[in-house]
Amino acid sequence: MRRLLLLLASPLLLLLAFFSLLVGVSFYAESNPATFFVLAAAPATVQGQRVLYLLARGVLFPFQLGFIALAFGAALWVFRRRLRIGGWVLGEPMAGWRRRDEPDEAHPAVLRPERRRTLQQLLGSILAVLALGAATVLSIGQFVPRADLAVVIAALTSGLTWGARLPIGDVLGGISNIFETNVSIGERIRYKQVAEQVEGQVEDTDLRFLSVRADSGELTTIPHGELRIFRNFSRSDTSGVYATFPVRAPDLSRAVALLTELADESPTLATHLVEPWHVMSLDGRLGDVTDVTLFGRTTPGFEDDLQLALHALVQVRFAAAEISLAGQKGAA
């Protein structure tokens, strides 16, 4: 029954929508339809012209509201389908730029699936903002002459810029991060604030926020305006890890010799170590206690695991060789 009523009412609804579009476009173009009614009726007195004009404006006002509803309805339609539209914009032409016989390193991240999805999110967000802006301008133009429309928009923009500094900063940061290919969907990053560290895979991004899914499952949303310094583990095959051990002076030579001897077989001894470690001293200082540092490389995302494995391995080997670690610098 409801479908039947909707089918019967469809011609009337289409007629109302068409007339609303006609009236809305006329008012925006400063071709006031109410004036045509007055000219067509041609009342004899000025008072009659005013009354007829007010009546015409009252009759046309609901159609102006209908035009505003149609404008924002179209903007809502674009907003809900922004990802599809962004995907259509990034469709076959961009995929055809890539040659099959060229390696992945010869192409920027924009052509990778993760990069395409990131740009799809960006284009969708831009289209949604443009659609909302166009609907707002058309709506204001129903009641403000076009000569004054720029002044009204400038005033609203200035107010929004002052009152929404942080969101605008997030949007500008999002545009910068996405267009400069700093981060893409699917990559693993680590972001550290003053008292909190976030590490995980980038799951979603738009103009304002970046969503990171941690290994434990929680989803963290980071504003682009705060994403200034972060580590991207997906832009390199390996990541470096330092493990420092305070060794007493009498045991220094034996400790260095033992670690150097174990270097060749270290990838088989320490979990997540992908190549032999290097023995070094970061500060180069000698004394009662010297900091001996191991530098190793691991797969991005396993830095903490490798560091723990190195400490456990070295402590066991030092204990077997009767090499003691100092509790702190300067210890006897």
Q: What's the half-sphere exposure (Cβ side, CA atoms, 13 Å) at 251?
A: 19
pLDDT in tens, 292-306: 999 999 887 788 888
Compute the average pLDDT of residues 178-199: 78
Question: What's the confidence (pLDDT) of residue 310?
Answer: 92
Closest listed residue to residue 188, CA positions, set 208, 203, 166: 203
Question: How far apart, in whole angstroms, are the C-alpha atoms of residue 133 and residue 127?
Answer: 10
Phi, psi of 94 (to 5 degrees): -70, -35
Q: Which amino acid is at 92?
A: E
200 CB burial (10 A radius; 0-12, 13-18, 19+): buried
- Residue 224 — pLDDT band, cuts 50, 70, 90? confident
Question: How far apart, in whole angstroms, are the C-alpha atoms of residue 183 and residue 210?
Answer: 9
Question: What's the confidence (pLDDT) of residue 216?
Answer: 82
Question: What's the confidence (pLDDT) of residue 72?
Answer: 92
**Lowest-pLDDT choice from 59-73, 99-113, 174-188:** 99-113
- Alpha helices of 146-269 — where are they, by DSSP H? 146-163, 165-179, 252-261, 266-269
Compute the average pLDDT of residues 171-197: 78
**The pLDDT of residue 329 is above 50:** no
Question: What's the confidence (pLDDT) of residue 194?
Answer: 66
Which of 163-172, 224-233, 320-329 shows the highest mean pLDDT?
224-233
Beta-carbon contacts of 308 under 8 Å, excluding residues fewer than 6 positions away, are none
**The pLDDT of residue 97 is above 60:** no
Q: How much is the mean pLDDT over the chain?
A: 80
Question: What's the confidence (pLDDT) of residue 259?
Answer: 92
CATH 2.130.10.10 applies to domain 175-235: no
pLDDT in tens, 51-86: 888 888 888 888 889 999 999 999 999 888 887 887
pLDDT in tens, 267-300: 888 888 889 999 988 887 788 888 999 999 988 7
The CATH code of domain 239-320 reads: 3.30.70.100
Q: For the chain, what are the domain ranges?
A: 9-163, 175-235, 239-320
- Residue 93 — pLDDT band, cuts 50, 70, 90? very low
Beta-carbon contacts of 47 under 8 Å, excluding residues fewer than 6 positions away, are none
Question: What's the confidence (pLDDT) of residue 95?
Answer: 40
Question: How far apart, in whole angstroms, are the C-alpha atoms of residue 256 and residue 245?
Answer: 11
Question: How far apart, in whole angstroms, are the C-alpha atoms of residue 198 and residue 189?
Answer: 8
**The pLDDT of residue 15 is above 80:** yes
DSSP states of 145-173 as a string? -HHHHHHHHHHHHHHHHHHTHHHHHHHHH
pTM: 0.53
Compute the average pLDDT of residues 199-205: 85
Find out whether 197 and 191 touch, Cβ atoms under 8 Å: yes
